[in-house]
Chains A and B, each alone.
Chain A
């Protein structure tokens, strides 16, 4: 699964640390999600999408 987290983070000027703090996880967790090495829970996905002012559909690109 790919994500647009890095792209949207850059748009809003968030570092991984900033985003991690907003959604209540460690910076490494954001890194893992960005690299596709961790699938976040629905709640976390929602929180990240909300922080980046987008939707889950727009944020995560699923391999169909």
Chain B
């Protein structure tokens, strides 16, 4: 899976919220209360950078078509971002109705992002090779 520069802050955000935070939380309840909000702020900041770079590098919003083929190439990152935006919208409603905590909602969204990114990259990398 070749990562574009927009993926790096996003990947750091994934690691923070899905690996480091649960690891810290597993040690004690106190650490859990102390670290959640700062890590969440850093994650939101990293995601903001990721989205900014993705827009700048035309990974989310395409404005250029290839002049020879007249096609716009859409890669895993493009579909992944839009599926995630849609998922956040749906998850927001579910969270409201079912009463999820912020922590649960964050874990849900980031798990979906990581899974979607991986599956789509697998699809585009392996397409036509079987």
Instruction: Tell me which of B57, B58, B66 contacts A26 (CB under 8 A).
Output: B66
**Complex contact A38–B58 (CB within 8 A):** no
Q: Pick from B20-28, B39-47, B68-76, B92-100 the stretch touching chain A.
A: B68-76
**Complex contact A26–B71 (CB within 8 A):** yes
Q: Which residues of A contact B68 (CB under 8 A)?
A: 25-26, 28-29, 32, 38
Residues of A contacting B: mostly: loop
Residues of B contacting A: mostly: loop
Across the two chains, which residue of chain A brings its CB closest to B68? Answer: A29
Q: Which residues of B contact A32 (CB under 8 A)?
A: 68
Q: Which residues of A contact B57 (CB under 8 A)?
A: 21
Asked if B30 CB lies within 8 Å of chain A CBs, one says: no
Q: Report the interface size for chain A: residues with CB under 8 A from the other chain.
A: 11
| Mask: chain A, 9-24; 1 = CB below 8 Å from B; 0 = not | 0000000000001001
Asked if B67 CB lies within 8 Å of chain A CBs, one says: yes
Bound-complex Cα distance A41 to B67 (A):
8
Q: Which residues of A contact B73 (CB under 8 A)?
A: 26
**Complex contact B69–A24 (CB within 8 A):** no
Asked if B33 CB lies within 8 Å of chain A CBs, one says: no
Given A25-B64, A26-B68, A38-B68, 14 further pairs, Cβ under 8 A: A21-B57, A24-B58, A24-B64, A25-B67, A25-B68, A26-B66, A26-B69, A26-B71, A26-B73, A29-B67, A29-B68, A29-B69, A32-B68, A40-B67
What are 18 pairs between A and B in contact, CB < 8 Å?
A21-B57, A24-B58, A24-B64, A25-B64, A25-B67, A25-B68, A26-B68, A26-B69, A26-B71, A26-B73, A29-B66, A29-B67, A29-B68, A29-B69, A32-B68, A40-B67, A41-B67, A44-B67
